[in-house]
């Protein structure tokens, strides 16, 4: 009964209170002492696919149309589809059963290539403005939207997901190598507001109304 474990590039010092095994990953559902927010959640295990084609307009990854404008995102059926540029989009699976990636030429599985972190809390923008100069609260943009810019000097994809009962949520994807440094930078940035690691349950519960 051999089974090899996948490992997230993110390591918290908090103790897991509840976890589940999924596709080789040990996914933290809940940590001890998560508090009431703000939260930092590791979603690095979630599937992430890169989609590139000369003409994205005719493509519907998992049935979702690709936005025309770079920076726009669509969240549907647990999938977040980010239009990155003229020829590239990113598809992240955020909730529900992990899907199989279509075996089509234009898809590349980059799940392991990126760490994916979520910051959720009333103070989310205050935390982020200590580590990113990107205008995440721009009134001209409607969530969810994508900004490609540095967080703590590391190139990232930042998706502002929206707001639910006063809690703002955001996703940060950076290349895997920087995951631990990024995690520490975000936790350090959020110390004054009591930012703590939290499990996937918090993320899914927060996200659910936005899926409707």
Partner 1 sequence: MNRLTQLPTLRINPAKTLPFTYREKKYQGMSGDTVAVALYSNGVRIFSKSTRYHRPRGLYSLDGECGNCLMEVDGLPNIQAETSLLRGGMTINPQNIKSFEKDSGPDKVDPAGFDYQKFHKPYKMWPYFLKRIRNAAGLGVVSPSFRMKGLFDEQYLNAEVCVIGGGPAGILAALAAAEQGLRVILLEARPWLGGCSDYRSAEYTPGVALYSRARELAKAVEDTPNVRVFSHTFMTGLYADNHVTAFQIGAQGDHFNERYMEIRAESVIAATGCIERPLLFENNDLPGIMQASCAHRLARTYGLLPGERAIFSVGHDLGIEAAIDLSDLGLPILCVADCRPDVQDPRLIKELTERGIPFMPGWVVSKAEGGKSLEKVTLTTIEGIRHHAVECDTLVASADLTPAAGPLFMSGAKMEYDFHTGFFLPGQLPPKVHAAGRLIGLYDPFSIEASGHLAGLNAAKDCGASVDALLKTAQKEIGRLPGPARGSKWMLPPSVSLNRDIVEKIFICLDEDTTVKHIDQAYNMGFDTVELMKRFTGAGTGPGQGGISGHNLPLVISRYHSDSVMPTLPGTVRPPLVPSFLATYSGRSRDMVKRTPLHESGKAAGALFQRERVWKHARYFSDDFTCREEIENVRGNVGVTDVSALGKFRIFGPDAVNALQRVYVGNMSDIPVGKVRYSAMCNEDGRLIDLGVVTKRGEEDYYFTTTADRADSAMEWIRYHTRYDQWNFHIVNLTDAFAAINLAGPNSRELLRKITDADISGDAFPFMACRTFALRRETSRDSETSNVSDISAIPVRVMRLGFVGELSYEIHAPASLAESLWDLLMEAGRDFGIRPFGSEALDALRLEKGHVIIGRESETRTTLHDLGLGFLWDEEHAGISTVGVPPLKFTRYQTGRLRLVGFKTEDPSRAPRDGSIIVEKTIRGYVCTARYSFTLKEAIGLALVESRLAKKGTRLQIFEDGMKKDERLYATVVSTPFLRSVDG
Nearest CA to 51 among 60, 42, 63? Answer: 60
Minimum distance, C-beta of residue 7 to partner 1, in the bound complex (Å): 5
Closest to partner 1 by CB, 171 or 179: 179
Residue with Cβ nearer partner 1 (72 or 112): 112
Please report how close the Cβ of residue 94 comes to partner 1 at its closest, in angstroms: 18
Q: Is the peptide bond before 144 cis (omega within 30 degrees of 0)?
A: yes
Q: At 42, give phi and psi (nearest 5°).
A: -90, 120
State in angstroms the smallest separation of the CB of 12 from partner 1: 14
Q: Distance between CA atoms of 3 and 57, rounded to whole angstroms?
A: 41
CB closer to partner 1, 3 vs 57? 3
Closer Cβ to partner 1, 5 or 57, answer by number: 5
Nearer to partner 1, 23 or 33 (CB): 23
**CA-closest candidate to residue 13, choices 35, 38, 43, 33:** 33
Toward partner 1, which CB reaches closer, 3 or 13?
Answer: 3
179 contacts 115 by C-beta, under 8 angstroms: yes
**Contact indicator for 146, 88 with CB cutoff of 8 Å:** no
Residue 131 C-beta: closest distance to partner 1, Å: 8
Query: Quick one: tokens of 174?
Result: 């950076």
**φ, ψ (nearest 5 deg) of residue 105:** -50, -40
DSSP secondary structure code for residue 96 in this structure: S
Over its C-alpha atoms, the chain yields an Rg (Å, rounded) of 16
User: Closest distance between partner 1 and the C-beta of residue 192, in Å?
Assistant: 4
Least CB distance to partner 1 at residue 52 (A): 4
List contacts with partner 1 (CB under 8 A): 1-9, 21-25, 45, 50, 52-54, 87-88, 105-106, 108-114, 129-135, 137-139, 152-154, 175-182, 184-185, 188-189, 191-192
DSSP-assigned states of every residue in 69-95: STTBEEEETTEEEEEEETTEEEEEE-S
């Amino acid at each position: 009964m051999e089974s090899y474990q996948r490992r997230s590039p993110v390591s918290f010092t908090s103790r897991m209170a509840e976890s589940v095994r999924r596709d080789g990953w040990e996914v933290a559902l809940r940590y001890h002492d998560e508090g009431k927010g703000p939260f930092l959640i590791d979603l690095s295990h979630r599937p992430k696919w890169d989609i590139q084609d000369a003409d994205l307009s005719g493509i519907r990854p998992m049935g979702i149309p690709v936005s025309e404008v770079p920076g726009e995102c669509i969240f549907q059926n647990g999938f977040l589809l980010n239009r990155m540029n003229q020829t590239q989009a990113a598809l992240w699976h955020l909730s529900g059963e992990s899907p199989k990636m279509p075996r089509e030429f234009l898809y590349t599985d980059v799940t392991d290539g990126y760490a994916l972190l979520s910051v959720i809390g009333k103070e989310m923008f205050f935390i982020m403005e200590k580590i990113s100069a990107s205008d995440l609260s721009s009134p001209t943009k409607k969530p969810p939207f994508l900004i490609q810019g540095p967080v703590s000097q590391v190139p990232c994809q930042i998706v502002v997901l929206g707001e639910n009962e006063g809690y703002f949520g955001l996703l940060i994807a950076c290349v895997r190598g920087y995951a631990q440094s990024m995690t520490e930078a975000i936790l350090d940035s959020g110390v004054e507001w009591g930012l703590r690691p939290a499990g996937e349950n918090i993320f899914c519960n927060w996200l659910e109304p936005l899926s409707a």
